[in-house]
């Protein structure tokens, strides 16, 4: 489910739902085997107040008075509010009892997500410390930086921008969409992409992710009411999942292929 815009939308939705004074009465783990085993120390959240929820890359960081819950949604992770009397489902792996009445569950059928407890400086966490810059951080993510990286890389440009050590938050959908916007073929070797075109790519990544966050924002009310993630798909894809459909710019059929084990979509006319 989530790339950066979806995670950001979940973050905003959770804050809307919980506010900044909610108290975690108790944490219950029903399934410990996620991407990594959920540590028993997770119970240190018991009794803590949620002061803030921030985001780094596709990770949510729940700041609970200096104790941090680090949370990645993997492919299928979501947070849901259970209705009164509703039993948790088979994929509801963690239950946070909030302010005595509400139960917030972490639901994740494929279990690729993660939950970890962090008491030290959270940005030193082994999953966070090697991440590249945030795409919307213009000070650290810019064309000179990307060019420096790309010029030695033979790999496809799509795979380079999906490398979380290069830039974070760009997943399979937004990689295709950004490359379409920039007019670059996904399979081109990164080192063969001119600096001028990398400038267009940096702009495209920012524009696409920014627009997607805005679009995700419009579904926050769904999230508040249902506590679910329905409606996060309402992004306007120009190429993703549009194989054989007419290109919105030139009308030619959109191509589809598999690169690096992931589906890729592009327009052979508009992208060179």
Chain residues binding DNA by CB under 7 A are 1-3, 6, 33, 35, 57-58, 72, 74-75, 90-91, 109-112, 127, 152-156, 159-160, 164, 171-173, 190, 232-233, 258, 260-263
Minimum distance from residue 179 beta carbon to DNA (Å): 14
Query: Which three-class secondary structure state does DSSP give residue 4?
Result: helix
**Residue 226: how many other CB atoms lie within 10 Å:** 13
Taking only Cα atoms into account, the Rg of the chain, rounded to an integer number of angstroms, comes to 20
Give the Å distances, CA to CA, from 112 to 163, 177, 248, 264.
18, 24, 34, 22
Q: How far is the CB of 188 from DNA (least distance, A)?
A: 12
Shortest distance, CB of residue 174 to DNA, whole angstroms?
Answer: 8
Half-sphere exposure at residue 148, Cβ-oriented, CA atoms within 13 angstroms: 8
Smaller CB distance to DNA: residue 24 or 190? 190
Residue closer to DNA (CB basis): 164 or 269:
164
CB of 196 to DNA, least distance (A): 21
Q: Which one from 58, 181, 197, 255 is the annotated catalytic residue?
A: 58
Q: Is 58 a catalytic residue?
A: yes
For residue 162, the SS3 value is coil
Compute the Cα dihedral for 37, 40, 44, 50 and give only its sign. Answer: positive
Catalytic (active site) residue 196: no
Catalytic residues: 2-3, 58, 262
């Amino acid at each position: 489910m989530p790339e950066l815009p979806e995670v950001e939308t979940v973050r905003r939705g959770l804050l809307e739902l919980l506010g900044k004074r909610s108290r975690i009465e108790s944490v219950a783990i029903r399934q410990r085997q996620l991407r990594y085993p959920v540590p028993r120390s997770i119970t240190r959240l018991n009794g803590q107040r949620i002061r803030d929820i921030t985001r780094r890359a596709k990770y949510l960081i729940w700041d609970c008075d200096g104790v941090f819950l680090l949370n990645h949604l993997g492919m299928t992770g979501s947070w849901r509010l259970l209705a009164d009397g509703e039993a948790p489902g088979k994929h509801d792996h963690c239950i946070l009892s909030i302010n005595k009445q509400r139960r917030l569950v972490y639901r994740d059928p494929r279990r690729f997500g993660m939950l970890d407890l962090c008491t030290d400086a959270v940005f030193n966490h082994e999953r966070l410390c090697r991440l590249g810059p945030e795409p919307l951080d213009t000070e650290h993510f810019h064309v000179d930086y990307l060019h420096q990286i790309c010029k030695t890389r033979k790999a496809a440009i799509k795979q380079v921008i999906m490398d979380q050590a290069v830039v974070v938050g760009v997943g399979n959908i937004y990689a295709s969409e950004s490359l379409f916007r920039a007019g670059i073929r996904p399979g081109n070797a990164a080192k063969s992409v001119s600096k001028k075109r990398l400038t267009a790519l940096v702009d495209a990544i920012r524009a696409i992710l920014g627009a997607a966050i805005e679009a995700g924002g419009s579904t926050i009310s769904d999230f508040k009411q249902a506590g679910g993630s329905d409606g996060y798909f309402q992004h306007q894809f120009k190429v993703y999942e549009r194989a054989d459909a007419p290109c919105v710019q030139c009308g030619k059929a959109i191509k589809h292929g598999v690169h690096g084990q992931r589906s890729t979509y592009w327009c052979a006319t508009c992208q060179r």
